[in-house]
Structure 1
Amino acid sequence: MIKLLEPAQAERWDNYVMAAADGSFFHLAAWQQVIKRAFGHPTYYYYFEQDGQITGVLPLTHVKSLLFGNSLVSNAFCVYGGILASDDQSFKALQSQAQQLARDLGVDCLEMRNRHQAHPEWPHKELYVTFRKELDTDVEKNLNAIPRKQRAMVRAGIKAGLVSVIDDNVDRLYTAYSESVRNLGTPVFSKNYFRILKEVFGKSCEVLSVEHEGRLIASVMSFYFKDEVLPYYGGGVDAARDLKGNDFMYWEVMRRAVEKGCKVFDYGRSKIGTGSYRFKKHWGFEPEPLFYEIDLVAAKQIPEINPLNPKYQLFIAAWKKLPLPVSQWLGPWLAKDLG
């Protein structure tokens, strides 16, 4: 039987996600609260139950925008998602429910953000990859495993006197992140979104900032899930480039994660051929294809809502020139629909 998630069932849902081999941080029930509070989008968190046991879950978010289209996504604002199921019956039931909902809502498409192909009959975006690597229990072995040129960048940051600090709020994260994404020509999320993430996920959400002589250089928000660490939102101020602030920052996340007992470093999603793609490869990570599989509903082809689309180039160029306070004010109005 398919049911919609109620707050009283969130713990059961999360227990299922934690036990599932392909369960990810982005399948957790708390994302429903985060998305509703931060962006106001409708969510549909379905689970399949047999004999009183959950045997499948599917988080869905409906993002409808005049500028960026109308989609039902698992999961919006997340790099992974899709159906988790213990058996074929549960999988097919949840897929059928999602397809029916997509048609009832009249969306352009239904998107499943899978790490592994799950819907071979659907087209998928050959655009994104993820970077994941197992960590050694020895901190120095992890440092030595970084390719020589990238390791030299990390050591340069150490030599420059950079230090990492764990922040108890998102203020410095937002300063560094908003400047970084403005420089890339991308609208920034609201500061409230980051506050909500920190509040809702608690100890599983950590902000690490890098300082040089007391000045902020870079900052990153990381998620902890099972035995994995996922640095998710990060950026640096102008001085980060010369001081190798980002290189040092990600090393510090890795070092601290090893000390916490983490076994996997998930560097997250990148578009093929971009700067972040090359940066992660320089760390010795190998790209793994992501299967963002699309069930076309009203759309005739996969929507191209991404910065590589030529029609967005003039907007991106103009956005890069905005004063930072203006981008922080305008950005959230656009970013809330870029899920």
Structure 2
Amino acid sequence: MADELNVEFVSLRGRDIDTTATPAFTRERRFVTFEIPLEDGDPDTVWNALDSSRRGHIRTARKNELTIRKATSVDDLRRYYDLFLNNMQHFGTPPHSFGFFERLWEELGDNVVVDLVEYDGSLINGQIVLFSEDTGFHWGSVSDHEYRDLQGGSLLLWNSIEEATRDGYSTYSLGRTREGTGVYSFKKSWGGEKVWFDDYHYFPDDEITLPNPDDDKYDRLKDVWQRLPRRATRVIGPPIRKNISL
């Protein structure tokens, strides 16, 4: 298909394939995750493995009268999505459509959990956690930067890890990231094991440099996106997003 469609490359992310059977694919390690072991079912063991500064952030959050609850309706999901839109514009990135999240919500049922943090009636943090077999996959964190000093994100993630431990899950995965970034440092502070993803690539013609969202050539596009009206990013963002591969 790649040859017929004349694409520049095919990327299989985080897959383990037999390169002896498919020698045209080359392996490259570009992303890592951190996997937190939960096997003994004791949240105290997980707590003690956290970086001391992370435990301090969680303690701070507990003093700030934050309310944690799970989304129970499409209206809750829409509130999460509004905060997601804010974050994507801040990062200069086109967003997924609301329909994308709505389909996750409807199709995955109990295997998807949307957690919310509220402060004085305002939604200030949210996250999506996907559960499969014995693993929880943390994905889709959003936050209101105006309230970042309240440490709601740390409290929300810890609450989810604590619940997964008590519910008998064996691993909590923090999702893929690039080594050396700020997000990488945040995830490292949770005491998990660093795990590399094996990505496989096929180049129909000459090998090219794979796209990197941190490349300077995207700075102008990010700046333009950040200046757009919020309503415009909601409308034109999803059609752009589904055609981006970074």
* Matched-pair contact (CA < 8 Å) for 2:32–2:195: yes
Q: Which has the higher mean CA deviation after the structures are superposed, 190-199 or 329-338?
A: 329-338
**1:57-77: CA deviation from partner (whole Å, max 9, x where unpaired):** xxxxxxxxxxxxxxxxxxxxx
User: What's the offset of the Cα at 1:117?
Assistant: 6.8
What CA distance in whole angstroms lies between the structure 2 residues aligned with 1:324 and 1:248?
A: 28
The residue aligned with 1:161 is: 65
* Matched-pair contact (CA < 8 Å) for 1:230–1:265: yes
The residue aligned with 1:329 is: 235
Q: Which amino acid aligns with 2:152?
A: G
User: What's the offset of the Cα at 1:186?
Assistant: 1.3
The residue aligned with 1:108 is: 8
User: What's the offset of the Cα at 1:225?
Assistant: 0.2
From the superposition, tell whether residues 205 and 139 of structure 1 become closer, same or farther in structure 2 (CA, over 3 Å): same
- Say how many residue pairs are matched: 238
The residue aligned with 1:188 is: 95
What CA distance in whole angstroms lies between the structure 1 residues aligned with 2:96 and 2:53?
A: 33
What CA distance in whole angstroms lies between the structure 1 residues aligned with 2:18 and 2:33?
A: 17
The residue aligned with 1:138 is: 42
Q: Which amino acid aligns with 1:113?
A: R
User: What's the offset of the Cα at 1:162?
Assistant: 1.5
What CA distance in whole angstroms lies between the structure 1 residues aligned with 2:161 and 2:229?
A: 33
From the superposition, tell whether residues 114 and 322 of structure 1 become closer, same or farther in structure 2 (CA, over 3 Å): same
Structure 2: state its 5+ residue gaps. none
User: Which of the numbers 129, 151, 173 marks the counterpart of 2:80?
Assistant: 173
User: What's the offset of the Cα at 1:292?
Assistant: 1.2
What CA distance in whole angstroms lies between the structure 2 residues aligned with 1:240 and 1:119?
A: 48
Structure 1: state its 5+ residue gaps. 1-100
User: Which of the numbers 221, 226, 236 marks the counterpart of 1:320?
Assistant: 226
> Is 1:247–2:166 an aligned residue pair?
no
User: What's the offset of the Cα at 1:163?
Assistant: 2.2
Q: Which amino acid aligns with 2:67?
A: V
Q: Which has the higher mean CA deviation after the structures are superposed, 135-144 or 121-130?
A: 121-130
User: What's the offset of the Cα at 1:116?
Assistant: 4.8
**1:117-138: CA deviation from partner (whole Å, max 9, x where unpaired):** 7438533444211221211411
> Is 1:271–2:175 an aligned residue pair?
no
User: Which of the numbers 173, 176, 200 marks the counterpart of 1:293?
Assistant: 200
> Is 1:128–2:25 an aligned residue pair?
no
User: Which of the numbers 168, 193, 199 marks the counterpart of 1:261?
Assistant: 168
Question: RMSD of the TM alignment (CA)?
Answer: 2.0
Residues 33-72 of structure 1: pairs in structure 2 closer than 5 A? none
More strand by share: 1
RCO comparison, higher one (Cα < 8 Å, 6+): 2
* Matched-pair contact (CA < 8 Å) for 1:109–1:294: yes
Q: Which amino acid aligns with 2:88?
A: V
> Is 1:206–2:113 an aligned residue pair?
yes
TM-score (structure 1 length as normaliser) = 0.65
What CA distance in whole angstroms lies between the structure 1 residues aligned with 2:228 and 2:190?
A: 32
Q: Which amino acid aligns with 2:45?
A: K
